[in-house]
Amino acid sequence: MMVFVSYFAIKAMLLIIDCKYKVLSVLYQYENLTEDLEEDVKTGEKKRRPGGDNKLKSSNGATYVELKCSDVEEDEEEEGVEFLNNNNSKMNKSARAVHEIHYSDIGFAAFGVTGRAVIDFALLTSQIGFCCAYLIFISENLATYIPSVEKTSWLFLLLPFLFLLTLVKDISQFAIFSLFAQLSNIFAFTVVYWFDFQHLHLAQVHPREFSLEGFPFYFSVAIYCFEGAGMILSLEESLATEIRDQFRSYFIKTILAITTLYITFGVAGYLSYGPETNEIITLNLPSDDGFNFAILVKICLCFSLFFTYPIMLFPVTSILEKKLEVAQGSTAAKFMRLIIVLLTGLIVLKVPNFGQLMALVGASCCTLLAYIMPALCHLVLFRRDSDQSGRLLDYTLLFLGITGAAIGTLDAVVNS
């Protein structure tokens, strides 16, 4: 199932890349036509294109550009501009350098204001859900390490400091903490593997590991693990221009490596602890008196997630500041951040189960972002494409996304 979800997650996120270059191609054609318009206005003449098709129209004495999807596709065929080719042309690179396309922009290009609103809402909800999951993880592990302090008390102690961190305006200031987070993750994986293999001699194969009743929960969490639709365009844009055409190869290899890590990590953990395996695997590590590696792993992970929390809220605050027209650094912006942090704390109090929260976010928002919207946007933007295999993939993603979202969300709500 992890391989299945991984495969379609890769396909769906690469569709978003295709949609990006489709939108860029339209923008490029629009710029060409605008340049023609400016030249014609300066010379006082209307320029007619071959075949008598004049895209410069007049209405009430005003001249404007008439741009249609069919016109754009004709221009692409006439000029031989291949924007979706991995070996991008110089014009395509120039267009990418000028225009910054976000996921919500693709939704707007396909469905207008409604598409942008749906994607923005799903992104906001999923990012806040991630932050809530971090709070649950940190508070539960700290409560295990220091039993005298309850989980709720840890939560109230963390929120003020997290609010102060959200006031940092430049995300690059978290670079050193992000580096430490990655190193601590590698260290944590290594230690957990070590403890898992220590218990392998006690492993027993249980005859009823697979439960059809628990399948929706597992499917939702698997989608949660692979959801990266909101970051895929930023990742692709972050590559240097000269190697950006190799992004697909890098991305596929990375996801394959992560999928292998997920599978081996899960198998090793379950074979070690069997039915006693906790949803947060670090809770299975021994917590003997005195210093040990298990405690160090928990401290490292809590520290890294603590500083990852404000990074995950950056997209939320950026979208809300833009939507609410709030100036960055103003009192209103600070108050908005305080409300968001308090909201995450309130959600954690109401939904204290880490696994069920992941399942709920994964089944609803992550499924929408990872499967449904990429397929819908691709269907609309490439509706005149004769590639039947592409349409089959779109319909497959829609079926998986809608079915998984409905069943997973219902299961998460019923069992929460």
pLDDT digits (tens, 9 = 90+) for 59-100: 344 443 444 444 444 444 444 444 434 444 444 444 334 567
Residue range 123-129: mean pLDDT, rounded: 85
Mean pLDDT of the residues in the chain: 76
Distance CA 231, CA 238 (A): 11
CB 340 within 8 A of CB 128: yes
> In angstroms, rounded to a whole number, what is the distance separating the alpha carbons of residues 390 and 158?
47
d(CA 150, CA 161): 18
CB 220 within 8 A of CB 363: yes
CA distance 285 to 295: 8
**Residue-wise burial string across 34-72, b where 16 or more C-beta atoms lie within 10 A, e elsewhere:** eebbeeeeeeeeeeeeeeeeebbeeeeeeeeeeeeeebb
Whole-angstrom distance, CA of residue 114 vs CA of residue 120: 10
Element (H, E) at 33: helix 2-43
Inform me whether the pLDDT recorded for 314 exceeds 50: yes
Give pLDDT, residue 217.
76
Cα(143)–Cα(151) distance, integer angstroms: 5
Highest mean pLDDT among 23-32, 194-203, 348-357: 23-32
What's the 3-state SS for 160-207? HHHHHHHCCCCHHHHHHHHHHHHHHHHHHHHHHHHHHHHCHHHCCCCC
| Residues 200-221: tens digit of each pLDDT | 666 666 555 667 777 777 777 7
d(CA 360, CA 29): 42
In this prediction, residue 386 has a pLDDT band, given cuts at 50, 70 and 90, of low
SS3 84: coil
Rounded mean pLDDT of 3-7?
90
80: left (phi over 0), alpha (psi -120 to 50) or beta: left
pTM for the complete prediction? 0.70
* Amino acid (1-letter code) at residue 80: G
CA 194 vs CA 73, 106, 186, 294, 383: distances in Å = 57, 45, 12, 10, 52
**Average pLDDT, stretch 130-149?**
83
- Kindly state the average pLDDT of the residues 107-122: 90
Q: Count of CB atoms within 10 A of residue 395's CB?
A: 12
85: tokens are 């080719």
Tell me the pLDDT band of 57, cut-offs 50, 70 and 90.
Answer: very low
Mean local confidence (pLDDT), 355-366: 73
Burial (0-12, 13-18, 19+ Cβ within 10 Å), 26: buried
**pLDDT, position 272:** 77
| CA 345/CA 343 separation, integer angstroms | 5
pLDDT of residue 81: 40
Q: For residue 374, what are its two tokens? A: 């990429």
Interval 269-312: pLDDT, tens: 787 777 777 777 777 777 665 556 677 777 888 888 888 888 88
Angle between helices 103-111 and 2-43 (to 10 degrees): 70
Residue scoring higher pLDDT (101 or 375): 375
Torsion angle of alpha carbons 241, 242, 246, 247, nearest 10°?
Answer: -20
Mean pLDDT computed over 347-374: 78
Cα angle at 382 between 376 and 388, to 5 degrees? 90
Distance CA 293, CA 286 (A): 9
Per-residue pLDDT at 253 exceeds 90: yes
Position with higher pLDDT, 5 vs 95: 5
pLDDT-based confidence at 239, cuts 50/70/90? confident
Q: Is the pLDDT reported for residue 165 higher than 90? A: no
The burial of 324, by beta-carbon neighbours within 10 Å (0-12 exposed, 13-18 middle, 19 or more buried), is given as exposed
CB of 135 closer than 8 Å to CB of 348 = yes
